[in-house]
Amino acid sequence: MTAVIVTCNRLPMLKTVLEHTLAQNFSAVVVVNNASQDGTRDWLETQTDPRLHCVHETVNSGGAGGFARGMDYAARQTDCDWLVCFDDDAWPQPDALRIFQSLPLPPSVGGVAAAVYFPNGTVCDMNRPGLNPFASIGKFCSLLKSRRRTFAIDPAAYQQTKPLPVDYASFVGFFVRAALVRGPLGLPQKDLFIYADDILYAWKLRSLGLKILFVPAIRFSHDCKTTVSFARNRWKIYYIVRNRILFYKKIAGWLFLPFAPLLLLSTLKLYWKNRTTPRIRSLMLAGLRDGLRNDTSRAHTNIVTLADES
Residue-wise pLDDT for 135-167, tens only, equals 878 777 776 666 665 688 999 999 999 999 999
3-state helix, strand, coil in the chain (%, to 5): 45, 20, 35
- Domain boundaries in the chain? 2-222, 236-306
Dihedral of CA 2/31/188/218: which sign?
positive
Q: What percent of the chain has pLDDT over 90?
A: 83
Quote the CA–CA distance of 152 and 102 in Å, as a whole number: 26
State pLDDT tens for residues 204-247: 999 999 999 999 999 999 998 655 567 678 999 999 999 999 99
294-306 burial, b at 16+ Cβ within 10 Å, e below that, comes to: eebebebeebeeb
pLDDT at position 100:
97
CATH fold of 2-222 reads Spore Coat Polysaccharide Biosynthesis Protein SpsA; Chain A (3.90.550)
By the 8 A CB rule, do 237 and 106 touch? no
CA-CA-CA-CA torsion for 275, 281, 287, 290, nearest 10 degrees?
Answer: 160
Quote the CA–CA distance of 86 and 97 in Å, as a whole number: 13
Quote the CA–CA distance of 298 and 36 in Å, as a whole number: 23
CA-CA-CA-CA torsion for 134, 140, 146, 151, nearest 10 degrees?
Answer: 0
Q: Give the other-Cβ count within 10 Å of 36's Cβ.
A: 21
- Residue 15: is its pLDDT beyond 70? yes
State pLDDT tens for residues 244-303: 999 999 999 999 998 899 889 989 999 999 888 889 999 999 999 999 999 999 999 999
Quote the CA–CA distance of 161 and 196 in Å, as a whole number: 28
Q: What percent of the chain has pLDDT over 70?
A: 95
Distances (CA, A) of 249 to 51, 148, 215, 236, 254: 40, 18, 28, 20, 8
Q: Give the other-Cβ count within 10 Å of 20's Cβ.
A: 16
Distant-in-sequence, close-in-space partners of 53: CB < 8 Å, separation ≥ 6: 28, 29, 30, 31, 73, 77, 78
By the 8 A CB rule, do 205 and 180 touch? yes
Residue 145 burial by Cβ neighbours in a 10 Å radius (0-12, 13-18, 19+): exposed
By the 8 A CB rule, do 65 and 190 touch? yes
